[in-house]
Structures are given as C-alpha cells and as structure tokens.
Amino acid sequence: MLANKTAVVTGSTSGIGLGCARAFAEQGANIVINGLGDADEIERTRASIEADFGVQCAYSPANMLKADEIAAMVADAEKDFGSVDILVNNAGIQFVSPVDEFPVDKWDAIIAINLSSAFHAIRAAVPGMKQRGWGRIINTASAHALVASPYKSAYVAAKHGIAGLTKTVALEVAEQGITVNAICPGYVWTPLVEAQIPDTMKARNMTEEQVKKEVLLKAQPTKEFVTVDQVSGYAVFLCSDTASSITGSVLPIDGGWTAQ
C-alpha cells in the first residue's frame, strides 16, 4: 500500500513510534526512525526493519528540543529518499507534579518536545507534500488531548495544543491532498509502562494485577491496555485511500476513557 513512500517517525526507537515505523515498513514504505537509546540497540532496530521488510531504513539522531535539527532531519530524508510522504510526530516525555511546584525546566522541555517539535517537523515537511499533492501527517496525542488529569499540567497542555495544531494545519492543506490527524491513545502497554509497575507495587503495597487495574487502567472502562499494534494499525489506516476524507480529526483509541 505504501510502496515508494517514505515515513519519518519521531520518537521511534521503542514503543508506539517503533510500532508505527514497523507497520509502515510492512506496507512497503522506507523509514526514518529517530529517538534516544543505546547506539548498538538502535542500529539493531534499524537493521531489523530493513531485513524484516525489505525496505530502506535510516536513523536520525535529531534532538527534538532543537528546531534546526528537526528541519535537517526532514531535509535529509527528502534528499536521501526523494520525499517525506508520511510524518508521525510521536516524540514525547512526561513529568508529574502539582502546578505550583512544577519545575520550569520540565514545563519548557515538555512543551518543546511534545508540542513545538511537531510544529517544526510539520513546517519542514509540508512544502514537499504540497509539491507532490499527497501527504499524511499523524500526531500522536493522548486521551489527555481530550480530557485532563491532575498533576500533569504541562503534558495535558501540550496534548491539547497538539489537537489544536492538528485541526489548524488540516484546514490549511485540505485542498492539497494532505491529511492531518491526531491519534489519542489511552494507556498503551509499552516497555516504558511495564517498567513503572515494580516501583508502583512497592510504593502502594499492591500486586501487579492491582496496579494494572486500580492505578493504570482505572480510567479505561475496558480495563484493558491499548496495544502498540492497535495504535500502529490505526496509523496505517489513516494513510490509506479509505481514510482520505478523514482530516482534522482527534481520534481516541482509549478503551472508552473519554466516553465518560
């Protein structure tokens, strides 16, 4: 479905981003992955995408705090592969604190990585998409783009910002073959989430199952984690011809969280 296309996925060395990168590669797209991690592990990840799906895969070390590096990542992808047809803005960080105690540097970093980096990447990618008359921009938002939780002021503000950015850019490019949508997952089972469980078990004197059901999944009526494959499958669908009239949408995939 995506042969001869190129997808740039930020924050894609693990978790949702890596799932999206592999799902696009399975559909025939060349891939640019980006993110943090051990250099040898990143190289194994990059090489496995090429080996498993027979596509080209490059790694960009672009720092999502730096606008010039984000623009260079897109420019390099266009130079190396001929186009950037799909852009997934997935990079993100989190910090939890009461607003009156929230460290200013944490606020600045969360807004920069979770929101501003998407603006910089979109700004760099849209001219080429306009020229070719086709593009798919997918922003990984969160259920927190639709509802709030306490102690997450920066994260919730950034994700609400992503929703607004998504709608605005979608209107600007609606007649040029480009769609722009935001996917809003609830809790997704990733290595990052899994790693939080032992400390939470100890801090709350709970079993693993209690932590999952009573802490992590408390807001999700299904009491089931969203899976990486479900999110990446959603992203692939948004790149299909069937989804060409879906644009400017903020799309929950949250086990019913935002239906409450």
What sign does the CA torsion over 101, 103, 108, 109 have?
Answer: negative
Residue 155 appears among annotated catalytic residues:
yes
3-state secondary structure the chain: CCCCCEEEECCCCCHHHHHHHHHHHHCCCEEEEECCCCHHHHHHHHHHHHHHHCCCEEEECCCCCCHHHHHHHHHHHHHHHCCCCEEEECCCCCCCCCHHHCCHHHHHHHHHHHHHHHHHHHHHHHHHHHHHCCEEEEEECCHHHCCCCCCCHHHHHHHHHHHHHHHHHHHHCCCCCEEEEEEEECCECCHHHHHHHHHHHHHHCCCHHHHHHHHHCCCCCCCCCECHHHHHHHHHHHCCHHHCCCCCCEEEECCCHHHC
Catalytic residue among 59, 151, 155, 187, which?
155
φ, ψ for residue 108 (rounded to 5)?
A: -60, -40
Residue pair 21/42 in contact (Cβ under 8 Å)? The answer is: no
Cα separation, 25 vs 19, in Å, equals 10
Residue pair 187/193 in contact (Cβ under 8 Å)? The answer is: yes
Catalytic residue list: 155
